Structure 1
Amino acid sequence: MLEQLDKEYVLHTYPRNYVNFKKGINATLFDDMQKDYIDFTSGIGVVSVGHGNKEVADTICTQVNNITHISNLYAIEPQAKLGEKIAKLSEMDVATFFSNSGAEANEGAIKIARKYGETKFDNKRYKVITLEHSFHGRTITTVKATGQSSMHSPNFAPYPDGFSYDNKIDDIYNSIDNETVAVMIELVQGEGGVQPFKKEDIQELAKFLKKQGILLIIDEVQTGAYRTGEFLASNLYEIQPDIITMAKGLGGGVPIGAVITTHKDIFEPGDHGSTFGGNYLSTSAANKVLDILDNYKNSGKLDETIIYFDKKLTELFENNTNIFTNKVGLGLMKGLRVKDADTLAKIIPTAFEEGVLVLKAGKNTLRLLPPLTISKEEINEGFKRLANALAKIS
């Protein structure tokens, strides 16, 4: 029934798995046949505090029983409090614009950069340098900002101009010209294969760009909200970007995006906007999510979970060197390089059959993004099931 309805009435932009999930408890999901699955995906890095989180659910229920939405024509108390919370946790002097998704957040970041380039220089600066294998969204502009030629289908052309792509951090220096306004990168390329960049290389680039007056935009849509072990990967790398974007885990499942910038006066009323962005529902949920994760971090439990998950991942890797070639990632954003794409294509459905959800990244990386609150018992069971899947295909 579900499959029939979906195929008839929903546009087919994803290859669906027609399991019908009915309930979730932390990192465990249950389908309509009461089969349970360990979730090593958290909805592609979204369900940061786990499925069915009672604190978040109670917060949402309380909020929607009063006000769900009014519009940004009026001050929104939880939005203002969330902006303050982000500034304090980031340890930066920033202000935030709230949107509905990561792609929208990156659109906002590009608009800030373009206005900066229009107003801060004698000549117009508008070009943005990104990296190959990056991923910044699926709108027309963020698709073009994404450094993957496979994303630039002629079906959706023409695209906005002003974007170029470098293969390595070192290449960026030679690509800058007198029309370059910003460099936009992920500190860990998620869709590009869970590939972190070297801290020293990023710090050197940040210093260089600051001297040149060129903006550094860090896309933390996937790495933000403690995914790498700190509130922001930028904190972990000890840099202070001009613009940071967030989404995914920030709302714990409620759609929200954020454009965070040190250029607090760059936008004027009318420059940008969003009907739904930052409304009572999304910012109330995000405030509660950050409270939970901040406490989780300060208690030491997040670091314990990261260490334990990495230990079990290392064991799996070392026991299956015939399948995997490398272990990559930071915090609870992990990947295993698979020897070939065909093997990876077998792992994901076989793991599903065994009751553990995993993801693909790039051409040959098995990606693991569990809820940050995943328990040791769920980690143990998930890796047991994944090991069973690997035994089946090898």
Structure 2
Amino acid sequence: MNLKEIDLEYVLHTYARNYINFKRGENATLFDEEGKDYIDFTSGIGVVSVGHGNKRVSEAICNQAKNIIHISNLYLIEPQAKLAKKLVELSGYDMRLFFANSGAEANEGAIKIARKYGEVDGEVKRYKIITLKHSFHGRTITALKATGQEAMHTYFGPFPDGFVYADDIDSIESLLDDHTVAVMIELIQGEGGVEPLDKAKVQKLAKSLKKKDILLIVDEVQTGIYRTGELLASNLYEIEPDIITLAKGLGGGIPIGAIMTRLKDIFKPGDHGSTFGGNYLSCSAANTVLDILEDEKDRGVLDERMVYFEDRINEMAKKYSNIFQKSVGLGFMRGLRAKSGEILSKIIEESFKERVLVLKAGRNTIRFLPPLTISKEEIDEGIKRFEKAILKVSDQI
């Protein structure tokens, strides 16, 4: 059996795969088993934040693996403590952290924090959590129910109660009641079409929730770790959430999730836990990732690359207005809104043939999540290949 046949026979298929076997990577460039190169505008869906084959991250992982990989959270974990301190200091928020393995787990933990906050003397007083339509918060049962996309709720019920979906940020206030404990939002909806929320409206909402003692949870699983230019999109929006969730780019490819919260004493021993969360290996990788990106931010090269990438994406939107409605997104989280689902599918298909990797998102959007360390040369080569794909599709419509 060849590799494709083995995969088809033995792997449970939850993804519509392209059957290509990548063997190695260098920053934003991947190489298949035949040695062909592909420009990666996806970074493993926003995960490989400092590029493929990053020497500093791989050395940190190897050095840690030679000593201790995992001991459990029953004992002090040095790189975990240092990572928590680093995230608090870089964020500027007075918070404590809990470490998990993924974004879905982080969001589950955030929901548990909110639900416990809504209890008074052991009795449930407030439990409702408002999220937005087109949102995405994870694949576990509760995180899936928090996701405001009805199509994703098929088959998997019954779900936990207590989630209410607002059509948009303007309608959240009208849904608040005596049972509302939290509002949970993505500042840029990733799966929902790379759609940034209006900054002034978010700030107004944050102030209103604070006055009403309703928690603001910001899901930064995709927007966090400098993806939008600052450590957190919350910093960019100039708000102070009560709870922030992180994952994806934090470990540079090693699975890790995190909950940051100002509610420092909300959990007592036994309220929550994770066997693997925040272990030596994942936290060592994450500390190195933050060191790399903090340095690039301080030197101005991260912002410079982001502006350059934005300009190239906007150029495509203007040049091919027959194909695209508009350019959307912030920083290295960008999208091109295609004029139809058919056009979207064709462009993604042709892009792969031209050896540039892009992603599909909701609302007919092509999503770009390149490594934050992508070079200008890789950007130019990727855009060149992407434009070839656009021209092929343009000839077909």
Tell me the SS of whatever aligns to 2:297: helix
Deviations 1:155-186 (A, max 9, x none): 21100000010011111111011110000000
1:363, distance to aligned residue in structure 2 (A): 3.3
Fraction of identical pairs, as percent? 67
Cα gap change, 1:343 to 1:120, in 2 (>3 Å): farther
Mapped partners of 1:35, 1:353: distance in 2 = 12
Deviations 1:330-375 (A, max 9, x none): 0000000101000101011110110100001103001000000000
Q: Where does 1:329-340 land on structure 2 (aligned, <5 Å)? A: 329-340=329-340
Mapped partners of 1:376, 1:257: distance in 2 = 30
Equivalent residue letter for 2:306: I
Q: Where does 1:1-394 land on structure 2 (aligned, <5 Å)? A: 1-119=2-120, 124-153=125-154, 155-394=155-394
Deviations 1:264-286 (A, max 9, x none): 10000000000000000000000
1:385, distance to aligned residue in structure 2 (A): 0.2
Contact map agreement 2:337 2:363 (CA 8 A) in 1: no
Mapped partners of 2:73, 2:49: distance in 1 = 27
Q: Alpha carbon RMSD of aligned pairs, Å?
A: 1.0
Mapped partners of 1:44, 1:393: distance in 2 = 24
Deviations 1:199-223 (A, max 9, x none): 1100000000001000000000000
Deviations 1:57-94 (A, max 9, x none): 00000000000000000010000000000100110110
Equivalent residue letter for 1:88: E
Aligned length in residues: 393
Tell me the SS of whatever aligns to 1:108: helix
Structure 1 runs not aligned, ≥5 long: none
Tell me the SS of whatever aligns to 1:156: coil
Equivalent residue letter for 2:116: K
Mapped partners of 2:212, 2:363: distance in 1 = 36
1:111, distance to aligned residue in structure 2 (A): 0.2
Tell me the SS of whatever aligns to 1:277: coil
Mapped partners of 1:103, 1:236: distance in 2 = 23
1:122, distance to aligned residue in structure 2 (A): 7.9
Q: Which runs of 4+ in 1 moved over 4 A?
A: 120-123
Equivalent residue letter for 1:57: S
Tell me the SS of whatever aligns to 2:118: helix
| More deviation, 231-240/8-17 | 8-17
Equivalent residue letter for 1:50: G
